[in-house]
């Protein structure tokens, strides 16, 4: 892969949590691995009146423990510059333009600019307008913008946001982050499906009984309660991460493994997502909110939440992707906070053999399990004969534990590290295209509207902390004769 990228990264929100916890460590990894060498600089902007020196100390603190020699950290941090900046003040962009120009010359960057908007989306429009009107975008290199979630709170607001950004950046230069797309085992879905004859030939409604996707979190809302109260699990997790994973699991084979073809395949899958009527939402979706339990406080007792809050912290649903290959295969999805364990897991449950010739034996479904988090692994559950006399069956698992050494584990790129390099190298397939978002918001809006009309007449709280969610989530599968394979 190409090394020594030339890039000026301008981070709006450079003093924020995301920048310090994720962006600086990721940029440092790219530096350590040689993707960034001499020809890069980072400008951090935010309102606080920091100096370059202070900023560099903050950057060094954020990479604490990631280097052996102090000189490496100092040399890395020397590429960082700070500008105190209110994004609504046009004059500040003039100073930014001059700084960007001088750094471009100093580090011989050739005009490549990556703008990272690590702040509230309500500022995206004004930032993008100013980047263009104040000529901070160059004509000699690339101009790409990375935007963070949330991308809107419904289709209307997402469209408004997209319109604002697209006045300055064409679609091919907009990189909408979904960090799940940067995870190793999420990227592995395409490798497994399209790189193996056994899965490729069986990945359809003739052989798959159902697919299950679980994104469970053990933590509660923590310090994000203020935002979470206005979002809820449907917007925070289903609209983006869950539907992106569903698109990768259900898309038809792309014509080739290029950005355009992969994105077209994903867009087509999401276009085939059945949009539910309010009555169908009641049938196919379950919402929940954690109450106190197992020594932990309930959602309504958290700081910054209303004591009668109706915000959902759990969602389970049955989706139908009506492509020729996947029509009729239920896709069960589930996500929640304060669940029993933190995990991201996919189970592909295959149909049983059409005729059980071993009449006296109960054969189980073959199941392909893709563990995304916390540890990457694969497992294939099979029926096989027990060793010894007679002809008894047992369930066995072919397991692929990557058994990584500490060095190999340390070398796994963090999602943000992968995605920042992808944006520098213009690989867009691991970012959400606007058309994908349009489809996912349409789907999510229909559910939200039905819930706002209270079609399901739910009462909160309805699940205990440290459980796997409300009973209705198990019932959702049971009425189809199925059950969650992941039931820790």
Give the annotated binding-site residues: 47, 149, 179, 183, 217, 236, 337, 342
Among 85, 113, 337, 365, binds ligand NAD (CB under 6 A): 85
Catalytic annotation present for 85: no
The token pair at 72 is 């490496």
How many CB atoms sit inside 10 A of residue 155's CB?
A: 17
Contacting range for ligand NAD; rule: CB under 6 A; set: 70-78, 113-121, 255-263, 343-351 = 113-121
Q: Which residues are annotated as a binding site for substrate?
A: 179, 183, 217, 236, 337, 342
183 is a site residue for ligand NAD (CB under 6 A)? no
178 is a site residue for ligand NAD (CB under 6 A)? no
Q: Write out the DSSP string of 254-297.
A: PSSSSHHHHHHHHHHHHHTBPPPPHHHHHHHEEEE-EESBTTB-
Nearer to ligand NAD, 124 or 199 (CB): 124
Using the 8-state DSSP alphabet, how is residue 352 labeled?
Answer: P
91 is a site residue for ligand NAD (CB under 6 A)? no
86 is a site residue for ligand NAD (CB under 6 A)? yes
Beta-carbon contacts of 281 under 8 Å, excluding residues fewer than 6 positions away, are 446, 447, 450, 451, 455, 456
CA 265 to chain CA mean position, Å: 18
Nearer to ligand NAD, 19 or 63 (CB): 19
114 in Cβ contact with 10 (< 8 Å): yes
239 is a site residue for ligand NAD (CB under 6 A)? no
217 is a site residue for ligand NAD (CB under 6 A)? no
Contacting range for ligand NAD; rule: CB under 6 A; set: 143-151, 289-297, 355-363, 468-476 = 143-151
In the bound complex, what is the minimum distance in angstroms from residue 331's beta carbon to ligand NAD?
Answer: 25
- b or e along 277-304 (b: 16 or more beta carbons within 10 Å of the residue's beta carbon)? ebebbbebbbbbbbbeeeeeebbbebee
439 in Cβ contact with 254 (< 8 Å): no
Among 16, 110, 278, 413, binds ligand NAD (CB under 6 A): 16
Partners of 384 in the β-ladder:
394
Contacting range for ligand NAD; rule: CB under 6 A; set: 115-123, 245-253, 379-387, 454-462 = 115-123
Residue from 241, 365, 397, 483 carrying the catalytic annotation: 241
Residues 149-168 as x/- pattern, contact with ligand NAD by CB under 6 A: xx------------------
Among 104, 148, 259, 417, binds ligand NAD (CB under 6 A): 148
Q: How far apart are CA 156 and CA 251, in angstroms?
A: 26
In the bound complex, what is the minimum distance in angstroms from residue 355's beta carbon to ligand NAD?
Answer: 50
In the bound complex, what is the minimum distance in angstroms from residue 21's beta carbon to ligand NAD?
Answer: 6
Question: First vs last Cα of the chain: how many Å apart?
Answer: 40
Nearer to ligand NAD, 14 or 470 (CB): 14
Among 27, 58, 87, 465, binds ligand NAD (CB under 6 A): 87
In the bound complex, what is the minimum distance in angstroms from residue 205's beta carbon to ligand NAD?
Answer: 35
The token pair at 140 is 């000699």
How many CB atoms sit inside 10 A of residue 31's CB?
A: 19
Percentages helix, strand, coil for the chain, rounded to the nearest 5?
40, 20, 40
Among 119, 189, 211, 270, binds ligand NAD (CB under 6 A): 119
290 in Cβ contact with 464 (< 8 Å): yes
Q: How far apart are CA 356 and CA 364, in angstroms?
A: 11
Nearer to ligand NAD, 15 or 344 (CB): 15
In the region spanning residues 23 to 52, those forming contacts with ligand NAD, defined by CB under 6 A, are 46-47
436 in Cβ contact with 247 (< 8 Å): yes
Instruction: Compute how many residues bind ligand NAD; rule: CB under 6 A.
Output: 20
114 in Cβ contact with 8 (< 8 Å): yes
Contacting range for ligand NAD; rule: CB under 6 A; set: 119-127, 285-293, 391-399, 475-483 = 119-127
Single out the residue of 451, 126, 461, 80 nearest to residue 298, CA to CA: 461
Residue ranges binding ligand NAD (CB under 6 A):
13-19, 46-47, 85-88, 118-121, 148-150
Which residues are part of the catalytic machinery? 241
């Amino acid at each position: 892969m190409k090394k020594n990228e030339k890039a000026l990264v301008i981070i709006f929100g450079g003093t924020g949590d995301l920048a310090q916890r994720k962006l600086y460590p990721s940029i440092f990894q790219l530096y350590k691995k040689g993707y960034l060498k001499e020809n890069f600089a980072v400008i951090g902007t935010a309102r606080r009146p920091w100096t370059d020196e202070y900023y560099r100390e903050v950057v060094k603190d954020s990479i604490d423990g990631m280097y052996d020699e102090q000189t490496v950290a100092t040399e890395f941090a020397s590429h960082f510059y700070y500008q105190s900046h209110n994004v609504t003040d046009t004059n500040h962009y003039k100073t930014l333009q001059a700084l960007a120009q001088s750094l471009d010359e100093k580090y011989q960057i050739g005009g490549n600019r990556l703008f990272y908007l690590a702040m509230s989306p309500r500022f995206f429009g004004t930032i993008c307008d100013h980047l263009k009107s104040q000529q901070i975008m160059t004509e000699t290199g690339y101009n790409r913008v990375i935007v963070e979630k949330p991308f809107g709170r419904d289709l209307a607001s997402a469209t408004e946001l997209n319109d604002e950004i697209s006045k300055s950046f064409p679609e091919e230069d907009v990189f909408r982050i979904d960090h799940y797309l940067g995870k190793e085992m999420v990227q592995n879905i395409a490798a497994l499906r399209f790189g193996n004859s056994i899965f490729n030939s069986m990945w359809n409604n003739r052989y798959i009984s159902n697919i299950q996707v679980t994104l469970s979190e053990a933590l509660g809302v923590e310090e994000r309660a203020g935002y979470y109260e206005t979002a809820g699990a449907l917007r925070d997790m289903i609209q983006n991460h869950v539907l992106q994973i569903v698109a990768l699991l259900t898309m038809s084979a792309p014509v080739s493994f290029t950005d355009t073809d992969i994105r077209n395949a994903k867009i087509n899958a999401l276009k085939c997502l059945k949009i539910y009527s309010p009555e169908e939402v009641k049938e196919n979706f379950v919402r929940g909110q954690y109450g106190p339990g197992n020594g932990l406080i309930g959602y309504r007792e958290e700081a910054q939440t209303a004591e009668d809050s109706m915000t959902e912290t759990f969602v389970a649903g049955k989706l139908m992707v009506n492509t020729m290959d996947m029509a009729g295969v239920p896709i069960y999805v589930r996500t929640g906070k304060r669940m029993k364990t933190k995990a991201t897991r996919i189970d592909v449950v295959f149909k049983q053999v059409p005729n059980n010739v071993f009449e006296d034996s109960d054969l189980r479904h073959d199941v392909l399990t893709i563990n995304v988090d916390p540890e990457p692994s694969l497992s294939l559950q099979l029926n096989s004969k027990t060793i010894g006399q007679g002809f008894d069956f047992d369930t066995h698992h072919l397991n692929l534990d990557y058994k990584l050494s500490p060095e190999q584990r340390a070398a796994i790129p963090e999602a943000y590290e992968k995605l920042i390099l992808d944006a520098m190298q213009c690989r867009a397939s691991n970012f959400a295209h606007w058309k994908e978002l349009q489809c996912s918001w349409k789907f999510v809006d229909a559910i939200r509207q039905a819930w706002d009309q209270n079609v399901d007449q739910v009462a909160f709280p309805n699940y205990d902390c440290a459980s796997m969610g409300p009973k209705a989530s198990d019932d959702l599968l049971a009425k189809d004769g199925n059950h969650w394979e992941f039931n820790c």
